[in-house]
Amino acid sequence: MNHAKRLTLWSCGSLISALAVILLVGCQSSKEQAGSKTTTAATPAPAPAPAVTAESTSAVKAIRIDAGATNPYTDSEGNVWLPDQGFADGDTVDRGDDVKIANTKDPAIYRTEHYGMTSFSQKLSNGKYIVKLHFAETYEDISGAGQRVFSLNVGGHEIKDFDVYAKAGGAQRACIETVNVDVTDGKLDITFTANIQSPEINGIEIIPAS
């Protein structure tokens, strides 16, 4: 009889111990779960795209600027022209799509212009370049040669008494003046001097000489 009581007590004690162990493990597990937090790193906002400028395209072999334009332009040969930049003084004008321009596959370049400027400057690596200056006379009050005359100095090369109408052979006709320059001070400078009316230009190409 005493032996049976001892077995009963031992069984009860073992059961109580087992329950205590289960409760202890369960509590510990709950504490670990409560103390564990999942952290998610915030995703950084994407950086805004940089504005397209001549300085941000220094790796490009040629720099092309569409004078007077407010947006980049891709010409018929796939070349990208940057919007108006680099000029000192003056103003810009867009003649609109209705203006017909002869002697070019890319009339849009000649429908916008920068006029009344005193200079243009572009940072460049030292070296030899071919500079192409694009012109077309689109001002309605210019009806003949001699009505707009100005001078330019392109990287030290003087072009005196330049007449867009006379050079192009009439109004609304594209013409290109090409100058070879040797950059030695890290920039290309072009100055414009008014004679009759104000200077105007429609585009500038700066191409490294091969």
pLDDT at residue 38 is higher than 50: no
Beta-carbon count within 10 A of 72 CB: 12
The total number of structural domains in the chain stands at 1
On whether residue 81 sits in a domain, the answer given is: yes
Residue 48: the pLDDT is: 54
Q: How confident is the model at residue 50 (pLDDT cuts 50, 70, 90)?
A: low
Residue 210: the pLDDT is: 76
Residue 51: the pLDDT is: 58
More confident residue, 197 or 60: 197
More confident residue, 146 or 44: 146
pLDDT at residue 63 is higher than 70: yes
Q: Please tell me the number of Cα atoms within 13 Å of 142 on its side-chain side.
A: 23
Q: What is the pTM of this model?
A: 0.74
Q: Please tell me the number of Cα atoms within 13 Å of 63 on its side-chain side.
A: 25
CB-count burial class (<10 Å; 0-12, 13-18, 19+) for 71? exposed
Q: In this predicted model, what pLDDT tens digit does every residue of 69-109 receive, in sequence order? A: 999 999 999 999 999 999 999 999 999 999 999 999 999 99
On whether residue 78 sits in a domain, the answer given is: yes
Q: In this predicted model, what pLDDT tens digit does every residue of 98-131 receive, in sequence order? A: 999 999 999 999 999 999 999 999 999 999 999 9
pLDDT at residue 56 is higher than 80: no
Beta strand pairing status for 119-123 and 157-162?
Answer: unpaired
On whether residue 105 sits in a domain, the answer given is: yes
On whether residue 114 sits in a domain, the answer given is: yes
Residues with Cβ within 8 Å of 73's Cβ and at least 6 positions away in sequence, in order, are 66, 80, 81, 83, 108, 109
On whether residue 111 sits in a domain, the answer given is: yes
On whether residue 46 sits in a domain, the answer given is: no
Domain that holds residue 77: 69-151+167-200
Dihedral pair phi/psi, residue 76, rounded to 5°: -65, -15
Q: How confident is the model at residue 47 (pLDDT cuts 50, 70, 90)?
A: low
DSSP reduced 3-state for 202? coil
pLDDT at residue 45 is higher than 60: no
List the structure tokens of 95. 């003649």
On whether residue 64 sits in a domain, the answer given is: no
pLDDT at residue 66 is higher than 90: yes
pLDDT at residue 18 is higher than 50: no
Overall average pLDDT of the 189-207 stretch: 98
What letter would DSSP give residue 138?
-
CA distance 146 to 138: 15
CA dihedral sign of residues 111, 155, 51, 57:
positive
CB-count burial class (<10 Å; 0-12, 13-18, 19+) for 45? exposed
